[in-house]
Structure 1
Amino acid sequence: MDLPSSWDALRKQARKLETQLDEQMISYRKLVSTKVNDTENDLESGIDRLLKQLQQVNTQMQAWVSSGGSEIFSHTLTRHQEILQDLTQEFYRLRSSLRAKQEHATLLQDFREFDRLRIDLEDGDSVEQALLKEHASINRNSGQVLETIVFFY
């Protein structure tokens, strides 16, 4: 990242990064609210990269204010720091929500697999199949307890 030489350049760079973050956060919100898929990794890494860049710009702005910037510069810096904090908190909240959705989807997939196994086992008569059937039932019940625990978090 080039080091801007003036307050105006830093301010413009901060606004540009904030705008990019807003656009990506809108996409990320949509992703979290709809379904779980594999595109979140690229979006997450892009948002994380932009947050780090915005933090660097804020640090440069802080150095500018500390070296004799006016009251207006200080107020502008505070506003940019608040925006960074808000975007960071929202990103972490959304990422956490997405992780919970992914875990829930995984648990549901496991339940479907257990149910398929149970149906397959009901077709057989051997002692081994009866033991497998019992094992599947125990796993399904354990999974339901886990789903309940995850649901409450």
Structure 2
Amino acid sequence: MDLPGTWDELRKQARKLEGQLDEQLTSYRRLVNTKVEGSEQEKEAGIERLLQQLQHVNAQMQVWVSSGSSEILSHTLTRHQEIFNDLSQEFKRLRSNLKARREHEALLQSFTSFDNANGHVERSSDSAEQALLKEQARLQSSTGQIDNVILQAQATLGALMFQRSTFGNIGSKISNVSSRLPSVNHVLSAIRRRKSMDTIILSLVASSCTVFILIYWFSK
């Protein structure tokens, strides 16, 4: 930028730059208070360029004051230098606030991502735990069904063994009866034979008596 050579031109240029800086800082201040990203670097570069130009103009004005100009010009230069310092401090403050805000947003985003990741891990862990619990419940249900089948089988086996014992007792009794039948038959046969012998003997006795009676009658 070609700098003017007269005091009035330098002062006019200083006022112009101060006005531009005020507009740029106002725009930059809105940027700091919003979540728009990516445009602050361009704004900062423009403000830094204007500050350098204003500083250069003030340096040229200092040359005029140092050459023995009036006290009024010295006060005017002091006022422009104060404005420059105020603009520079405001720019540094806004840039520091923006940097702190960006760092806070980045930290918050990192924390949110970490929290989401933990939430995903917890949900995965919960899902895995729920799956394990369901599998455990299914196994317990299957085990209970198997136990019921075993109990039913044991009950059936006990009933069969009782029936087997009962049939064994009946078979034993039948065997005992069968084993005793020949003796009974033998006794009955002996009784029948004894009865037959008694009948025969009685018949013989009766016959003998009859014969003796007849002989006695005929002998008279």
**Could you tell me the TM-score, scaled by structure 1's length?**
0.79
Higher helix proportion (structure 1 or 2): 2
Other-structure match for 2:108 = 108
Report the AA paired with residue 16 of structure 1.
K
| Counterpart in the other structure of 1:121 | 121
Partner of 2:52: 52
Count the aligned residue pairs: 126
* Shift >4 Å, 4+ stretches: none
Shift in Å, 1:31: 0.9
Deviates more, 1:67-76 or 1:53-62: 67-76
Structure 1 residue runs of 5 or longer lacking an equivalent are: 127-153
Report matched runs for 1:124-135 at 5 Å. 124=125, 125=128
Contact 1:36 1:101 in 2 (8 A): no
Q: Return the letter of the residue paired with 1:52.
A: Q
1:35 positional shift: 2.1
Q: Are 2:33 and 1:33 aligned? A: yes
TM alignment of 1:71-110, pairs within 5 A? 71-110=71-110
Residue 43 of structure 1, CA deviation: 0.5
- Deviation per residue, 1:3-56 (Å, 9 max, x gap): 311000000000000000000010011111222411110001100110011000
Distance 2:115 2:33 in 1: 28
Q: Note the residue ranges of structure 2 that are not aligned, 5 or more in a row.
A: 130-220
Query: What TM-score comes out, normalization by structure 2 length?
Result: 0.55
Q: Distance in 2 between matches of 1:72 and 1:87?
A: 23
State the percentage of identical aligned residues: 64
